[in-house]
């Protein structure tokens, strides 16, 4: 591979935050991963097929919200609350003080792709009430539906639904007023937020940056949408049915969460004596088009982005301790991803893992959360287990995928994420 070593300032991770169905806080999540526990569970009160998901508990807002911002809290959607909690943890873990940095040199990039409030969240309880809980549309009482729907409409649904729902509140709270954007490309936008944040610091446009991913895919409308796209696991086996890279895979189980990393220049981190968890060695973002007229996954999703990220890092596949894959557990998606990874690894026996069965697919939050878990796992010297994995399809039987934790060798890993339509993002990280 031609070395295209990344130029610019060195970018390091000095703070991390995470909220997921495994718990609130990085330590709680790592304890769940260490014990190979899943936060996915069956939740009652939903139609059959929509009761299985990962829900986050124990999340609370900090008590130091300025008075001028408290009135805006009611506009935050569920995904934004989770993302905000993760961002606050990351900020505090990094020291909680950026007074030495001009607000215009504090960057903020938020990936949401959140489906919490799409303007129709009132319809599910309204239909439930109008059918006396049966969801049998043949017995639907139209007058009762109208009454229930009209009284259930949230007057703030437009503000809750916009993609920068978290961004505006978090930016004001932290006073991060430099380079920024809010992304909404669903699965890969958490990774894209991290890439943009790292690039802002590397290019000297910012001295500190926060990258946040948040997502809620467990409310009623997203569940029906994801189910209609054929992306969800059948769920008849419970949480163990979520099997990334396994030959028996049949889709993913959704979840909700938030994750954030605090990035800064290595120079600033050293000057203030910060504890550095890792450095970002390379990153890349690509689009691979799907042939035909379908909005799906290309034949070799992520291949170009993996090669580009490794090239920018100045590393070959043999330098990696492991690869954390996207692992959506869809038939086509996993096949395409494994074809790409097998090609990119070029025969190197690099372990692969997929982490979504621990939490459920949290959309943009999963991108950042998987980097955090991978950092902590690499620091502890192990490759996380791919929960529920038994055996891969025959063409991929030689790939090193394990249903249990294995010891890792090396300090660098690559994390890959992609979404429908061919967008993909990858980052190469070295733990310190």
Lowest mean pLDDT among 75-79, 86-90, 236-240: 75-79
* Segment 153-187, tens digit of pLDDT: 777 766 777 778 899 999 999 999 999 999 987 78
| 3-state SS class at 425 | strand
- Residue of 228, 179, 184, 233 whose CA lies nearest to 204: 179
44 and 143 part of one domain: no
Residue 5 lies in a domain: no
Cα 350 to the center of its chain, rounded Å: 23
Residue 301 lies in a domain: yes
109 and 142 part of one domain: no
Residue 317's domain is classified under what CATH number? 3.40.47.10
- Residue of 217, 220, 190, 291 whose CA lies nearest to 54: 217
131 and 280 part of one domain: no
* Segment 286-342, tens digit of pLDDT: 988 777 666 778 889 999 999 999 999 999 999 999 999 999 999 999 999 999 999
* Cβ proximity of 408 and 322 under 8 Å: yes
137 and 259 part of one domain: no
* Residue 180: its H or E element: strand 180-183
Q: To 5 degrees, how large is the angle CA 403–CA 409–CA 412?
A: 100
Distances (CA, A) of 126 to 123, 217, 224, 278: 5, 20, 15, 48
207 and 289 part of one domain: yes
55 and 148 part of one domain: no
Residue 3 lies in a domain: no
- Angle of helix 123-130 relative to helix 220-228, nearest 10 degrees, comes to 90
Residue 69 lies in a domain: yes
Which residues lie closer than 8 Å to 398 by C-beta, 6 or more apart? none
Rounded Cα gap, residues 335 and 300, in angstroms: 9
Residue 102 lies in a domain: yes
Which residues lie closer than 8 Å to 180 by C-beta, 6 or more apart? 107, 108, 109, 167, 171
Query: Could you give phi then psi for residue 154, rounded to 5 degrees?
Result: -85, 120
What does the CA dihedral 253, 251, 242, 111 come to, rounded to 10 degrees? -50
* pLDDT exceeds cutoff 70 at 29: yes
135 and 263 part of one domain: no
Query: Could you give phi then psi for residue 418, rounded to 5 degrees?
Result: -150, 170
307 and 288 part of one domain: yes
322 and 298 part of one domain: yes
Using the Cα atoms of residue 236, residue 362, residue 157 and residue 71 in order, give the sign of their dihedral.
positive
* Residue 191: its H or E element: helix 189-202
Residue 203 lies in a domain: yes
181 and 85 part of one domain: yes
Partnered with residue 280 across adjacent β-strands are 11, 429
Q: Which of 152, 170, 196 is the last residue in one of the domains?
A: 152
Average pLDDT, the chain: 91
- Supply the pTM of this predicted model: 0.93
What is the DSSP code (8-state) at residue 283?
E
> Number of folded domains in the chain?
2
240 and 134 part of one domain: no
> Which residues form the domain of 147?
123-152
* pLDDT exceeds cutoff 60 at 1: no
* Segment 235-265, tens digit of pLDDT: 899 999 999 999 999 999 999 999 999 999 9
141 and 162 part of one domain: no
Residue 2 lies in a domain: no
């Amino acid at each position: 591979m031609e070395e295209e070593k990344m130029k610019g300032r060195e970018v390091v991770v000095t703070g991390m935050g995470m909220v997921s169905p495994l718990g609130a806080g990085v330590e709680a999540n790592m304890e769940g991963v260490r014990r190979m526990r899943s936060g996915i569970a069956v939740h009652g009160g939903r139609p059959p097929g929509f009761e299985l998901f990962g829900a986050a508990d124990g999340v609370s807002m900090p008590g130091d919200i300025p008075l001028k911002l408290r009135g805006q809290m009611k506009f935050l959607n569920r995904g934004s609350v989770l993302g905000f909690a993760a961002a606050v943890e990351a900020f505090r873990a990094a020291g909680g003080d950026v007074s030495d940095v001009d607000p215009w040199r504090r960057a903020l990039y938020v990936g949401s792709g959140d489906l919490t409030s799409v303007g129709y969240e009132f319809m599910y309880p309204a239909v439930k009430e109008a059918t006396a809980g049966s969801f049998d549309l043949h017995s639907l009482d139209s007058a009762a539906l109208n009454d229930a729907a009209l009284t259930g409409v949230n007057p703030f649904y437009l503000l809750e639904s916009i993609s920068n729902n978290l961004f505006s509140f978090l930016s004001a709270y932290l006073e991060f007023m430099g380079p920024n954007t809010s992304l909404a490309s669903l699965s890969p936008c958490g990774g894209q937020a991290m890439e943009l944040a790292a690039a802002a610091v590397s290019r000297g446009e910012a001295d500190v940056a926060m990258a946040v991913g948040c997502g809620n895919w467990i409310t009623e409308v997203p569940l029906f949408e994801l189910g209609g796209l054929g992306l969800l696991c059948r769920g008849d086996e419970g949480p163990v049915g979520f099997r990334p890279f396994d030959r028996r895979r049949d889709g993913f189980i959704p979840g909700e969460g938030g994750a954030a990393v605090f990035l800064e220049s290595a120079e600033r981190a050293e000057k203030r004596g910060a504890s550095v968890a890792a450095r970002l060695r390379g990153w890349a973002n690509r689009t691979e088009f799907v042939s035909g007229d379908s909005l799906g996954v290309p034949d070799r999703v992520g291949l170009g982005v993996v090669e580009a990220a490794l090239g920018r890092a100045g590393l070959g596949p043999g330098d990696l301790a492991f690869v954390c894959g996207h692992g959506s557990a869809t038939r086509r998606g996993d096949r395409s991803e494994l074809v790409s990874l097998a090609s990119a690894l070029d025969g190197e026996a690099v372990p692969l893992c997929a982490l979504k069965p621990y939490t459920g697919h949290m959309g943009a939050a999963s991108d950042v959360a998987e980097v955090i878990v991978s950092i902590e796992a690499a620091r502890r010297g192990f490759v996380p287990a791919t929960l529920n994995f038994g055996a891969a399809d025959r063409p991929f039987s030689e790939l090193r995928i394990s249903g249990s934790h294995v010891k890792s060798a090396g300090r660098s890993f690559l994390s890959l994420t992609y979404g429908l339509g061919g967008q993909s993002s990858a980052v190469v990280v070295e733990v310190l």
